[in-house]
Structure 1
């Protein structure tokens, strides 16, 4: 055979070696453009960070100004008419102390004072002074005149940042804010320009170029870095909210990038000489040439050597193939085709054998389980060997049996044609078995089989508490019955045995489950019947006060399902021993209807509400002749009462539900969204609001908010190119790790996998 694979690999490796060579050449020609774009984007990103930092500082100053404006001491001082009284002087001292605390709380300001326009006096953090002295103290060193200062502070301001002279920057707010058009005073906050300039100077852009801040009229406020030719910049091109452009400067070409602040209409501008990234291009070119040299003079010999080394295992595998296969080498194109043909035939044979063995093993194990349940198996070491061969491993020596009798399931195949009855029954067995095994398997080991047209589950109980285990089996049976009957329309009656302490007790458990299941003829189909209920003797009517109280509470709150479950539990408990007479059964039903009528008396209703329904109920009860008929009438009337209560509740809760859920959906991006904030917003007790959201949406507050945030995140990942970090913030998560964990919990995959469509 020719060494076709070796030559193919050699050509492939050499071709792959050429790819980085071509790519490096393309990169060399595109690097300057790409680096220029990256520098621009980097400049804009840094400017946005600077803008956000300063905007946050200015927001803090505005917030401080607003708090100070609403301070009772300030309001009281502004409204004084006579500033010479001792009381006013005491108020002035308190105001000075308050101003001093405000000034000390913010490191971005140097000082602040409040100027009274009519009296022409000012109160600062240290004293109250006349206008001329106040001007000399705070602005005497600036280029501003006294007249210019008085003209400025006598204007009306709505929280504005203004430049005084050539060096001072102040924040101005007219007081009181409740009557801005007739303001009596002006709050003046002096910004710490030295700190502002130092913050700008520390930016990387200022170290390689220039960074400046200009106001809405394109007047320079402050600058850092190279500032000798700032007048050459064409400020007329700074028209949009952000952008960049190239311009010729005296020192060469520069890149001008800018962003606008929404807080004060300022613009943050960065000027970077083109030579900064041109130097990077030259360094990149040197590295590219070095990479080309390594690719050609090192990669070439390495490709030949690695090809030979990787080919040797293939050669050895071909030599190991049987002589029969080797005799056909002349008709094989290459070594891979030969190996693929050999491995495909063997894999197909192995899969077929495994499927046959697995099917036979499942059938044999099912028959063994059926015989084990009926007590028709050998005992001792023979039984242990049989269980080991069928992979039946029991962690404990406690066992219980659940026996499922399958009733009507015609609605499952409604509209699908006649079909094969046997196939349909097997499909029903498959549904019942898989759902129930999954539910029981959460806490216990379980094995299933078909016995006499029923589905039997052998449960190996885990743990030492048998009382808890019995209750868990009943709860699992309820859950399985709810899912199978609710979603697949398969009627089930379930018998549950007691727990037995050894393998030899399994047949007894099966007999108990079968006996419990047979009792469905007394209490009706679609029931869950534990054996301990039917073996408990009954000498009197079982109707405890606690159960009656729970039933009344369920009716009063309109909880039909819970009320119906309580009624059903009472009926099953009273008929579980099979000795309850029809008369005693009717007595039980009249006790139940008496409880319902007792619950109705608590309603705030008119004299005619539910009167007709009560009359019809009494009439129907006197005509019933069986437990099932009486029980059916009880449920009908119970539904009417609970619907009545529910309608009363819905009229009250509908508006609150719409408001709460709408507010949540509109504030998903708010990281502070919580049950406490909602309760404050709608003035509702937090525990009640939690249960209300659970009742109205079917989910807890956390689950509802997280699912809505995941839904919004999926839409953003589908409709936008935002990064995961950006989306994390837009949907209200504090960090991407939390977002990824919550997303995977509800979707089963990570956000990255969702975006890739995996």
Structure 2
């Protein structure tokens, strides 16, 4: 019996802990929201409004209703929010506006609530209390809890305006699951039942005064029999959270335990050996199931070779970390909204229905002058946070670097300007508002901020930034144009890859000059580069590429469109040369170098130069080694022909089979290396021996024809005449 009681006590304590954490957490959240509402400027300012309300008052009420709607959505336990203003007899909620009389018809104090306590809520200068009420919802009174808090916290002379938050009592215990047969009750200091999981039949015998300790276990007697009463005290409201367990539950548990023991003994005797063997084999199954469950729900993959307990620890840490991240995202809600507004301002998407200055005030943005500019920061090399190539895949490291950049820029700009940072795709944009109307000084400020940020990030983190600066504009609606200018300048700087801060003002001048001059890459230079590559001359190819880049980049005046054209021209030249390679060399080169992808993935001309020189070196090496192999091959083919020319079946196909080459490839290589067709070489070799035999004048012509590899005398005569200009018989007569 003691074991069962201990078990039920432990279950009750667990339920109490769950109630305390859930309900106190909910109430703390509601109190935080009430504080935010009381500190909301439009809500606090409306306390001065009086009847009758003006048009501006009605507009402010519309804004207050929108704000209350947001606060209500922020906490799922809130049933309704009202703000009562005494001066104007106005009650505003997220859905409607009413007067105090209408409010009191919706909120009625319960019979166990004294009238004095109810009136104090609305008449006191400072109110902060929880009170049970009947709230009319869908035409029916619903038991609820009313949290009241005064708006004016520090000024006794303010009217007794109050924030009222309604919570249905069913919400308090919505997620509480007491042990089977038990019930839970929430009581306040006045011995009133705030919420209960049953019909109050057990709770009617409870007395708040007898539960003096903060938490404990007592036994009570009621009409239903003996009850075990476990309680704890809320640190927020002083309420008692109570779990009631009837004595009959103990008896049921006891009977169940006895029967379970009898069944267990029988099972152990009958199948004990089998169960022992089974669990020896399957003792890993619970952990395996737990791991599979975590893998599917937590999202942390399990490596079969890792330690299971370490994985479980990581999975649980991941779950807690996710919970913390959700809390942080909620806290960052205001920053996210402001970032969204600033992003819309940069992209020229501003709501015309709301005045721009009202939008700025709503997002806590203050501009001190009418001069604006935009800076863009792009991370080219992540330094100590990146891999060997200066890149980084970890999103948290990227966010951390963006946080560093944001802080550095804001700190650098704070003294003389106002800076607002916002993430824009892969870059960070800074809207800079100047305090003084001095164009020359402001232009210097832009460059100072850009260079200071770049220098700080490189010195401390080895991070390299590409920075682009827009022109300075004299109105807020030109921020979108400034952003487009900064984008164009950033693209220009990244294509040229010179690592310098790019100013849009100087960019426009350089584009004008480069548009008139074009870029340097004439056809003669392109053909020279192709010829050098075909011959495998890397030194000459490298020198020519250096000349091309030096002539195009020495004055850094090449525009972005022309720079891209130059990049595409160089890729085209590389592809022309690759296409002229033989099949084997081309396949080998494409497999080893993959030049197209490497060159197309280059983000700047300087990066393309490095990749182009590396690719040139690989191509020239392959071509040079191929030429050496081809020379050896041709020598072997010549020796084979000189040895086998007497064979009537000797032809290009047979020679190709002998060396494992296709006839077309063999013919092309032979011609490229010797300047002569392979078939002509075979015929000349045969004819040279035929002429020697003809001069001996010992054998007839048809026999000589067969001796040198011609099965048909007519073919021999035709080929002999083609190369010598006369027939074999005439050749013998003349010599």
* TM class, shorter-length: 0.3 to 0.5
Query: With structure 2 as the length reference, what TM-score do the two structures score?
Result: 0.34
Higher Cα Rg: structure 1 or 2?
2
Query: With structure 1 as the length reference, what TM-score do the two structures score?
Result: 0.33
